[in-house]
């Protein structure tokens, strides 16, 4: 399995518009963060978790030529806004794009992209095949996926486990029974928004504490805001088994 971090930023991305803080002014490429998403290559299959506003740019940067399915974590705009750009894959692959999402995400997609779901479609709009998912494991192109429910303030969000790899974003609280699904992961990706308390995201300290409980071989933090600090400064203080993710980072599991 090869995992590419398409984006590792929070909803505003980094740099933030009109901000001249040290992080937003940094020349380190690792401090340039598009909205959070990952691309997985598992065998011959190509999957994406979330299609944020930067989806087109991310696919071009990583030269992703084929895409077999999209899996959504939740319905917030920074995770869904780029779905329109899947039409390039529709044209190339000559088939509907399989989309895996919960009922609430599907309803949001139908509102945001109403033209995709019309009975009589305008020529050239994206075409999708919707698969509703819940708390039970499901299969995507023969790949077993285990959903992990986390809470993003009061909004349920799904993380996903693919074999020895677990991806969780937009979490503030995870019930013990859901944490059991994560245990044994070799690689854990977890959100770590900033240093100070936030109502709907783990802080850096909270994310580190959770990694210490789960004890994966390696953990990477994502969904990072400019309030966390520069990549170089923060990573220098992290335990040896924890690194900050950055856009374009690739890991092999």
pLDDT tens for each residue of the chain, 253 residues long: 999 999 999 999 999 999 999 999 999 999 999 999 999 999 999 999 999 999 999 999 999 999 999 999 999 999 999 999 999 999 999 999 999 999 999 999 999 999 999 998 898 999 999 999 999 999 999 999 999 999 999 999 999 999 999 999 999 999 999 999 999 999 999 999 999 999 999 999 999 999 999 999 999 999 999 999 999 999 999 999 999 999 999 999 9
- Compute the distance between CA of residue 182 and CA of residue 166 in angstroms, rounded to an integer: 7
What does the pLDDT read at residue 177? Answer: 96
What does the pLDDT read at residue 42? Answer: 97
Cis preceding linkage at 38, omega within 30: no
Partners of residue 41 on adjacent β-strands:
2, 46
Q: What is the dihedral of CA 231, 232, 236, 242, to 10 degrees?
A: 40
DSSP state of 121: P
Q: Burial of 176 by CB count in 10 Å (0-12 exposed, 13-18 middle, 19+ buried)?
A: exposed
Q: Give the DSSP H/E element, type plus range, for residue 85.
A: none
Nearest CA among 206, 208, 204, 248 for reference residue 229: 204
164 phi/psi in degrees, rounded to 5: -90, 5
SS3 9: strand
Partners of residue 173 on adjacent β-strands:
151
Query: In this structure, is the dihedral angle defined by the CA atoms of residues 184, 188, 191 and 192, taken in order, positive or negative?
Result: positive
Match 């933090």 to its residue by tokens. 221
What does the pLDDT read at residue 219? Answer: 98
What does the pLDDT read at residue 121? Answer: 87
């Amino acid at each position: 399995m090869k995992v590419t971090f398409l984006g590792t930023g929070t909803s505003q991305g980094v740099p933030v518009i009109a901000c001249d803080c040290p992080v937003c002014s940094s020349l380190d490429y690792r401090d340039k963060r598009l909205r959070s998403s990952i691309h997985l290559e598992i065998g011959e299959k190509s999957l994406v978790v979330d299609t944020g506003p930067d989806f087109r740019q991310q696919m071009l940067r990583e030269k992703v030529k084929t895409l077999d399915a999209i899996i959504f974590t939740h319905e917030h705009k920074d995770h869904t806004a780029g779905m329109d750009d899947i039409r390039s894959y529709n044209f190339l692959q000559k088939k509907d794009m399989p989309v895996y999402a919960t009922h609430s995400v599907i309803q949001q997609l139908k509102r945001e992209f109403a033209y995709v779901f019309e009975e009589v479609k305008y020529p050239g709009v994206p075409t999708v095949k919707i698969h509703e998912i819940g708390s039970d494991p499901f299969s995507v192109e023969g790949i077993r996926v285990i959903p992990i429910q986390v809470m993003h303030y009061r909004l349920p969000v799904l993380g996903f486990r693919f074999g020895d790899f677990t991806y969780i974003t937009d979490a503030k609280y995870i019930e013990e029974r859901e944490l059991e699904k994560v245990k044994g992961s070799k690689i854990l990706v977890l959100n770590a928004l900033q240093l100070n308390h936030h109502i709907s995201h783990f802080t850096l300290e909270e994310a580190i504490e959770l990694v210490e409980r789960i004890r994966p071989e390696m953990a990477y933090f994502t969904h990072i805001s400019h309030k966390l600090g520069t990549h170089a400064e923060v990573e220098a203080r992290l335990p040896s088994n924890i690194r900050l993710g950055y856009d374009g980072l690739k890991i092999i599991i």
